[in-house]
Structure 1
Amino acid sequence: MRNFDLPGRSPVIAENGMAATSHPLATATALSVLKDGGNAVDAAIAAAATLAVVEPHMTGIGGDCFVILAEPDSSLHGLNGSGRAPAGANAAWYRERGFTDMPATGPHSVTVPGAIKAWEVLSQRFGTRGFDRLFLDAIRYAEEGFAIHPRVARDWARYASELAADEGGAMHYLPNGRTPPVFARHRLPALGATLRQIAERGSVAFYEGEVATEIARTVREKGGFLTEEDLAKVSADWVDPITTAYRGHDVFEIPPSGQGLTALIMLNLMKQLGADRTSVDGTDRWHLMIEAARLAYAVRDSHIADPASMNCDTRDLLDLAYARALAGGFLQERRNDRIVLPPVPNSDTVYLCVVDRDRRAVSFINSLYSGFGSRIVTPNSGVVLQNRGACFTLKKGHPNELAPAKRPMHTIIPGMAMKAGKPSYAFGVMGGAYQPMGHALVLSNMLDFGMDPQQAIDFPRLFWGEDGTLEAEAGIPAGVREGLAAKGHTLRDALGPWGGAQLIAIDHESGFLIGGSDPRKDGCALGW
């Protein structure tokens, strides 16, 4: 139990339904849908639509979406709602013009937005409410305005100059020529009108017609390759989640093109190396987790891509024999300098989870990748376009090499854990490349060290930045920092918090739901 003399919050405990999101307005949206008789799928989509308005730098209808759904019969369903590269894009074009890496932002970073198609495919199969009901809050906030919350204001301000350089960005996201301050009211009427069209006509209103025409024209006028045909061919695909066992639970992730495999490899390494036998806040635990992450991420960067392009079998990478071989790269007394990782880019994402009265559990993640994605916003329809194409490589022959109509290696990963055949945790940790590390840490906090969901989320975090230096949150003790430095790690203070988690635990014995939400964001978990 936490020390009530110190700042913090207790987990939320309820029975009839629960939602945890990164913004209180989105959590309220989800609860309103549940209380109105909608199920967890309906509530998750409605919350995602609200987040696309009130956290526009993190997520939007111009981004991608992944989902893991556990039905009341405990069947699991995975959905890959990531868009593909334009059919006219290929790595050779970039190499011939002197590019060594994919552009991080701008027209060449734009891929087809997959989110709206994913929401529709999910809703049509498992939902009970139409977009006309589910988008009500999002449309109202867009048209009437919403309050800028503290974390949103902090993040939004970082992108002022890039937004000012784009016609649509300046028009919709720089009122009076500057980013909105905390507590200000902000309206997005053009986005609201686009949401109304989608609510009335479904995804066709986004992927065909005037909105699609403007998206394609905006990108091509800036030099990109995206066409109306690319948008019209969008798909969201049902996939079988991949899994590994950890401390009595079966942990599930979306298979490649997502990086969820990285989290599972990391958990396999933690089993081999004895993470549960370390001290919860000791140097040895952090050294083990950092090195396990570096080994797992090296596998990610070598192999994970669009599954049609991968040169190895996911099952082989999840085999415990492979984990034992990888574990040979762990050095107890020092950092293994032979592990080489590429730079880790910053990114922005929202993750949410919902569990309903029937114990249908939804693990749902939606993202633009970087803050305000490509930094391109369509002037008329107000759509922020993602920069997911930045995740491709231009290295010839690499599984993740850019190619026409190909999905990039994807960072956003929803998580789900099962125990004795029933869902036990719907969880996720937003934060770009940090996410596999976040999944492993939060699960370890609960399963290895007995923390409740909120304690597991509150626990301090440590990860490497773009140059490979470990960046420690303020909660990492001085003794741990000194101990890690003695093992060869280079550390500095983190410039900001690592990621943001949401989590709902399902206690089938008591019948209660136990929720946690990350204080690193503005959001909350609520239930009734």
Structure 2
Amino acid sequence: MVDEPLLGVVGSSAMVATGHPLAAQAAQAQLLAGGSAVDAAIAADAVLGVVEPMATGVGGDLLAMLVPPGQSPTSYNGTGRAPLGLTAAMIEALPGRKIPERHPLSVTTPGAVQGWWDLHQRYGKRPWASLFDAAVDAARHGFAVAPVAAREWALFQQVIARDPASAALYRAQHPPRAGERFDNPALARLLGEIAAQGPSAFYEGHIPQAAERTMQRHGGVLAAADFAAHHGHFCTPVSADFCGAQVHECPPNTHGVAVLHALQALESQPPQADQPEDAVRMVQAMEAAMEYAKQTVADPAGNTVCTTVVDGDGFAITLMSSIFKRFGSGLAVAEGGFVLQNRGHGFAQPGHINGPAPGKRPYHTVVPGAVTRNGQFLAVIGVVGGAMQPQGQVQLLTRMLAGGEAPQAALNRPRWRLEGQRVLAVEAGTPDEVTAALRAAGYREPGNEGELGGRSDFGGAQCILRLQDGRLCGASDPRKDGMALAVDRQ
């Protein structure tokens, strides 16, 4: 194994890049025991739901991009649907005829647990129950809260403080600081039940009933019947050529099409990120792409975590899960030790293609990506952070594919983020001439609006790239608590 600061972690066999050291270790254990990349990614994701409860968990959704060796890429959509009890009259009564960010009607059916099962049924090698050992252990015996997680825990304390169950579960009165231990016995029990019984432990029985009671207390309509009706599906990715490679994204209801739309606009003259005129072109292409997605993305039938894995057989996966905004809806199912997501905020107004309806999936920000060249795996990549996800991917892909940058160097560079109409946040460290060009092009700085109060989230990326010599290079974003880890064959 080689660890070069600007290249990344380099290994010859298998590689993991994920958002927390305990998740990386869980994935490593699965790979060393003969598991597939999918086994490793599920084990890591289950751990992330314990150690980053503000970002993901069993109350959220899951999407994945997979590149099986010798096969075409495929994607998995595990996003949940609006409750069957959601009515037009409920939406029409809301301010602006739109579901607010933190509202009982924003809660959609969780899809993550079924997603784990569906992925494992098709691609898993290890026993299902073994995938949850590390997550159960962390939830039962506790773990040291990592620095970035602790900072976000404190920043969004007011979200969990609004609901007595969330406040008690997540210690709203005294959010754990970096290094302090936190445990979640209820979640440990639930994960143990899922390990023993499969997804029925989550979609049938006491958990759906407890979630329904939670929603009834708060005026929501998610019910046990919505859990029973949930299903995910495998599907063909949407793809586009860029700089001699093929970029693959999940199709709608995610906005992965925004990545492809922007890259296609830049294909004829691939940009160099530190050139002021190229930075302006990239932002303009991204702005047009996100507007395109906003107008076209809907169900064809925030905050996130990402794990990328390549196993010794060359199977590659980007697995991303999310409860959307930090701590999701803020409404906890105490019996299961988890918070429900608020993806329903992604719906537009009634009458729009993305308008809300019973059993419909909302516009989704999670976009796991993969890159191939001449039909062979080249990279798996994901960027967390709501609307930052497609923007971050475009910036990283142009840096690596057009600029030839090494993965870790590309992840380390400062980024920009479109926050709204002609509103652009620019991360510290961006060259002054680039910032000046962007402001001269009419993009103003964000104000203090929103929950982040002007503290823009520039995301957190995980990436694994196949080098020209065949070795794997893993990179993990310094903006998060994660790491890349080479896994050598035994």
Match of 1:321 in 2: none
Question: Following the alignment from structure 1 to structure 2, what is the Cα–Cα distance between the partners of residues 90 and 418?
Answer: 43
For residue 62 of structure 1, the aligned residue among 50, 55, 59 is: 59
Go from structure 1 to structure 2 and tell me whether the alpha carbon gap of 1:170 and 1:467 turns closer, same or farther (over 3 Å shift): farther
- Could you say which residue in structure 1 is the equivalent of 2:486? 527
% same residue:
39
Partner of 1:151: 148
| Aligned equivalent of 2:461, options 501, 511, 520 | 501
2:419 touches 2:446 (CA, 8 Å); kept in 1? no
Q: Is 1:111 the equivalent of 2:108? A: yes
Distance 1:416 1:108 in 2: 33
The answer on 1:38 being equivalent to 2:31 is no
Question: How far does the alpha carbon of each residue in 1:50-82 deviate from its partner, in whole angstroms, 9 at most, with x for none?
Answer: 000001101101000001111122332211000
In 2, distance between residues paired with 1:492 and 1:409? 24
* C-alpha distance after superposition, 1:424-462 (max 9, x if no partner): 001111111111111111110011111011111111101
Q: How has the CA–CA distance of structure 1 residues 364 and 162 changed in structure 2, closer, same or farther, with 3 Å as cutoff?
A: same
2:281 and 2:288 map into 1 onto residues whose CA distance is 11
Which of 327, 332, 345 is residue 372 of structure 1 equivalent to? 327
Alignment partner, residue 482 of structure 1:
436
Q: Give the aligned partner of residue 450 of structure 2.
A: none
Superposed CA offset, 1:390-442 (max 9, x none): 00012x32110000100001100100010011110011111111111111111
Residue matched to 1:21? 18
Q: Does 1:232 align with 2:228?
A: yes
Helix, strand or coil: the match of 1:502?
strand
Amino acid at match of 2:299: D
Matches within 5 A, 1:441-452: 441-452=395-406
* Aligned-partner Cα distance in 1 for 2:88–2:435: 42
After the TM superposition, which parts of structure 1 deviate over 3 Å for at least 4 consecutive aligned residues?
Answer: 96-99
Aligned equivalents of 2:94, 2:331: Cα separation in 1: 22
Q: Which amino acid aligns with 1:432?
A: G
The verdict on how the C-alpha distance between 1:492 and 1:221 changes in structure 2, with shifts beyond 3 A counting, is: closer
Match of residue 363, structure 1, among 298, 305, 318: 318
Pair 1:183-2:143 in alignment? no
- Alpha-carbon deviation of 1:467? 6.4
Q: Secondary structure at the match of 2:267?
A: helix
Question: Separation in 2 of the partners of 1:525 and 1:77?
Answer: 24
Whole-angstrom distance in 2 between the partners of 1:284 and 1:35: 47
1:249 is the counterpart of 2:219: no
With 87-96 and 181-190 compared, the bigger mean Cα shift is at 87-96
Deviation (angstroms), 1:30? 0.5
Residue 352 (1) aligns with residue 313 (2): no
Shift, 1:103, TM fit: 1.7
Looking at structure 1, the residues matched to 445 and 100 of structure 2 have their Cα atoms a distance apart, in angstroms, of: 28
Equivalent residue of 1:307, what SS?
coil
Aligned match of 1:517 in 435, 460, 476? 476
- Structure 1 distance, partners of 2:485, 2:80, is 32
Residue 397 of structure 1 corresponds to 351
Letter in 1 for 2:292: V
Work out the CA distance in 1 between the residues paired with 2:100 and 2:87: 13
* 1:281-430 aligned within 5 A: 281-308=274-301, 347-394=302-349, 396-430=350-384
1:227 CA displacement: 1.0
Q: Which residue number corresponds to residue 275 of structure 1?
A: 270
Q: Displacement, 1:496? A: 4.4
Farther off after superposition, 84-93 or 423-432:
84-93
Which amino acid in 2 is paired with 1:140?
A: D
Cα 1:74/1:517, change in 2 over 3 Å? same
CA distance in 1, matches of 2:438, 2:95: 40
Using structure 1 for the length normalisation, give the TM-score: 0.88
Q: Distance in 2 between matches of 1:527 and 1:100?
A: 49
Deviation (angstroms), 1:482: 1.8
- 1:290 partner SS: helix
Aligned length: 478
Q: Report the Cα offset of residue 466 of structure 1.
A: 4.9
Q: Which amino acid aligns with 2:285?
A: A
Mapping 1:459-474, distance limit 5 Å: 459-466=413-420, 468-474=422-428
Task: Write the distance in 2 (CA, Å) between the matches of 1:467 and 1:248.
Answer: 32
Residue 198 of structure 1 is matched in structure 2 by 194
Counterparts of 2:117 and 2:309, CA distance in 1? 17
Match of 1:80 in 2: 77
Contact 1:457 1:516 in 2 (8 A): yes
- Following superposition, the deviation at residue 280 of structure 1 comes to 3.2
1:8-51 deviations in Å (ceiling 9; x for gaps): 55410001211000111111111111011111010000000000
Q: What TM-score results when the alignment is normalised by the length of structure 2?
A: 0.95
Which residue identity lines up with residue 10 of structure 2 in the other structure? Answer: I
Structure-2 separation of matches of 1:434 and 1:450: 22
Aligned partner letter, 1:61? V
RMSD: 1.6
For 2:222 and 2:441, the matched residues in 1 are separated by 48
Does the CA contact (< 8 Å) of 1:481 and 1:491 recur in 2?
Answer: no
Greater Cα shift, 52-61 or 462-471: 462-471
What secondary structure, in the 3-state scheme, does the structure 1 residue paired with 2:13 have?
coil
Q: Residues of 1 paired with 2:482 and 2:177: CA distance?
A: 18
In structure 1, the gaps of 5 or more residues are 309-346
CA distance in 2, matches of 1:98, 1:462: 31
Letter in 2 for 1:55: E
- Structure 2: how far apart are the matches of 1:402 and 1:48? 29
Q: 1:282 deviation in Å?
A: 2.0
Q: Distance in 2 between matches of 1:37 and 1:111?
A: 36
Residue 102 of structure 1: how far off its partner (Å): 0.9
8 Å CA contact 1:472, 1:492 repeated in 2: no
The one-letter amino acid of 2:479's match is R
CA drift of 1:495 comes to 2.0
Contact 1:473 1:497 in 2 (8 A): no
Mapped to 2, the partners of 1:201 and 1:146 lie a distance apart of 25
- Hey, what's the Cα distance between the residues in 1 that align with 2:426 and 2:68? 38
Q: Which amino acid aligns with 2:382?
A: G
Distance 1:17 1:201 in 2: 30
Instruction: Note the alpha carbon deviations across 1:258-285, whole angstroms, 9 max, x for none.
Output: 110110001011114x233xx4312112
Contact 1:517 1:525 in 2 (8 A): yes
2:389 aligns with 435
Distance 1:96 1:165, change over 3 A: closer
Distance 2:421 2:479 in 1: 23
